[in-house]
Amino acid sequence: MHIKIIKADGTSEYFKIEKLRRSLRRAGATPEEVNSIVSEISSEIYDGIHTQEIYRRAFSLLRASEVAIAARYSLRRALFSLGPTGFPFEKFLGRLFEKHGYKTRIGITIDGHCAPHEIDIAAYNDTHSFVGEAKFHARPGMKTDLQVAMYSYARLLDLEGNKICSDSICGIKEFWLITNTKFTHTAEHYGECVGLKLLSWDYPRRDNLHDRIQRAGIYPITAIQSLSTSQLATLIEYNAIVCQDLVDNPSLLRHLRLSPRKQDLVMQEAVKICNL
């Protein structure tokens, strides 16, 4: 199928059926659902269609089948909805790395050799530690570029040798630059060249941010479809960052003044998204 589609950053590429299949499978769609949705979308797309339109159509078809699967499919959009500030995204990253066995500290200040540094995330376990910068973007077309990568590496040089905890493993030797969107190719090349750890939605090719979220089974609270944007913002204010927070503490919903029936629907969706 030789149909060109327009990506979020304005560039174009040929539509790849397998890419759509893979994203649907990752969300938990059954083989029958995958085949049905791929068949329907393949019959509807045209030269110049935007990826966001393909996403909206696939999401609509998934939601008609299973709300929780549709929510997991919309994971990338859910990350954008953690904005407009980047702080909830930093908290989400902390929860993600905790799920992977790290102890984390969010929003701390560490004195470097020449200047103090605000650190978005510091993480450590028995064998590994790192500090990192969380670069949040509220729109899919935005990329983290070379300038940000160079700035992050300069911070590592100033911080090197300091510690994020008292354990011997906690000396700062590794700096991660993490974004919810993508890096420019020059930023990726620079990171590989100087040893800066980069983590984005699709970089590296394996064990990227998307892979890590799916493996951990931890989803942002904004994946819940049955709540409005303002209701989700209220939950975030009360430190409900992931769906599991709501499952563990249903009383958070009292801040939204929902009817008992609506509360039940929201809780059912949260439980399904968490695959419980």
The whole-model pTM stands at 0.82
E strands, the chain, in order:
4-6, 12-14, 49-50, 103-111, 116-124, 129-135, 143-144, 175-179, 182-183, 197-199
Q: Rounded CA gap, 24 and 249, in Å?
A: 30
- Model confidence pLDDT, tens digit, residues 74-112: 888 899 999 889 999 999 999 999 999 999 999 999 999
pLDDT confidence of residue 22: 86
Q: How confident is the model at residue 34 (pLDDT cuts 50, 70, 90)?
A: confident
Q: Rounded CA gap, 43 and 38, in Å?
A: 9
87-216: in CATH 3.40.1350.10: yes
Region 239-260 average pLDDT: 96
Q: How confident is the model at residue 52 (pLDDT cuts 50, 70, 90)?
A: confident
- Model confidence pLDDT, tens digit, residues 180-198: 999 999 999 999 999 999 9
219-273: in CATH 1.10.3470: no
Give, to the nearest 10 degrees, the angle between helix 17-27 and helix 31-44.
Answer: 140
pLDDT confidence of residue 276: 55
Domain 87-216 matches domain 219-273 at the CATH topology level: no
Place of tokens 């935005």: 142
Q: Exposed, middle or buried: residue 231 (CB in 10 Å: 0-12, 13-18, 19+)?
A: middle
For the chain, report the end-to-end CA distance as a whole number of angstroms: 39
Q: Rounded CA gap, 276 and 268, in Å?
A: 10
- Domain ranges in the chain? 4-72, 87-216, 219-273
- Model confidence pLDDT, tens digit, residues 36-50: 888 889 888 899 999
